[in-house]
Amino acid sequence: MRFYYYAKGSCGELLTQLLIAIETSSVPKEPALLLVKETREIAKVIATIIQKDKRKN
């Protein structure tokens, strides 16, 4: 379970770095926005796994 929390935190870190990279024009905007969308989707999946596990226990 601990690793799910780590993974969710890592998604948050990646999201922050992507948004900074977009703001500073360090990366092309469109591909980075796609990565932002995918990162948010992955974070939602991890959050769902965490919630389901909490309900089991």
Rg (CA), the chain: 14
> What is the model's pLDDT at position 44?
98
Give, as one character, the DSSP assignment of residue 25. Answer: T
How many whole angstroms separate alpha carbon 4 and alpha carbon 45?
Answer: 10
pLDDT in tens, 5-47: 999 999 999 999 999 999 999 999 999 999 999 999 999 999 9
How many whole angstroms separate alpha carbon 8 and alpha carbon 42?
Answer: 8
3-state secondary structure of 13: helix
**Closest alpha carbon to 15 in 57, 49, 23, 55:** 23
Name the pTM for this structure.
Answer: 0.88
> What is the model's pLDDT at position 27?
97
